[in-house]
Copies of this chain bind each other. A is one copy, B any other.
Amino acid sequence: MAFVVAESLAEQIANHLASRIIQGEMVNNERIQEARIVNELQVSRGSVREALLILERRHLITILPRRGAFVTELNAERVRGLYRLYGNLLEMLAEKLSWSCSDSDRQQLSGLTDKLRKSAAVHDENLFIEANFELISNAAEVADNEYLTTALENLRPPVQRALALAVRNNLSEMDETTSFMANLVDFALGDQIDKVSELVNGYFKRHSALVIQAIQDQSGTASR
């Protein structure tokens, strides 16, 4: 039995469309035109459909039977539901990290925190989002609970989308998010796990409000 490790065509199409949704080129409730993607990318209808099923699993599009596929509407309720779960998972991650971190793990995580800080300093949105999730993925690997790792991984696309929206609307959110992540890692590794819950709640309360504000600003612009 040989499994192809390379990305399938459907995954490549899904990644392409995911970037466009995350970067805000495709907006809330926008209809996804299957035929147009087939033409633009010169791929088969079957691959596009498979890509759409992948994007549905990634919480980026919604498929309505007999009506088609649409960019999932990011609204206040979804943002709150998303961050409630995500914050909870980050708390679990910090707790598990606090037990299972070797010296070389610490060095690696501290290096990745520096990388995040640098990307925020130059205000590079894509670099910043990439560095943020590189830090989380690595922390999850160290924490070594594969179910938690998968759960975090599954939320990555909608969290990327919301975070990208927030930083486009307000560049200083890169610095806020960077200090949150740096504090989270510091508390986890510095045996201050009792401070994590307050940190997470405080950050996501403020951050959610900012994302919701960005959505409202965006829809105001669109309807003008």
Contacts and interface: CB of A to CB of B under 8 A. Distances in A.
Interface string A1-25: 1110100000000000000000000
Contacts of A66: 2
Given A151-B151, A154-B154, A146 B3 contact: no
A5 B151 contact: no
A150 interface: yes
Contact of A82 (B5, B69, B147): B147
A144 B66 CA distance: 24
A155 interface: yes
B92 A84 contact: yes
Interface size class of A (residues with CB under 8 A): 20 to 34
| Copies of this chain assembled into the complex | 2
Interface in A14-39: 34
Nearest to A85: B147
Contacts of A101: none
Contacts of A2: 66
B59 A147 contact: yes
Contacts of A154: 150-151, 154
A57 B155 CA distance: 15
B59 A150 contact: yes
A85 B92 contact: yes
Nearest to A72: B146
A111 interface: no
A81 interface: yes
A182 B130 CA distance: 43
Q: Of A85, A92, A144, A155, which is in contact with the most chain B CB atoms at under 10 Å from its CB?
A: A85
A44 interface: no
Interface of A: 1-3, 5, 34, 49, 59, 63, 65-66, 68-69, 78, 81-82, 84-86, 88, 92, 96, 144-148, 150-151, 154-155, 158
Given A1-B49, A81-B146, A151-B154, 16 more contacts: A1-B68, A1-B69, A3-B63, A5-B65, A59-B146, A78-B146, A81-B147, A84-B92, A84-B96, A84-B145, A85-B92, A85-B145, A85-B147, A85-B151, A147-B158, A154-B154
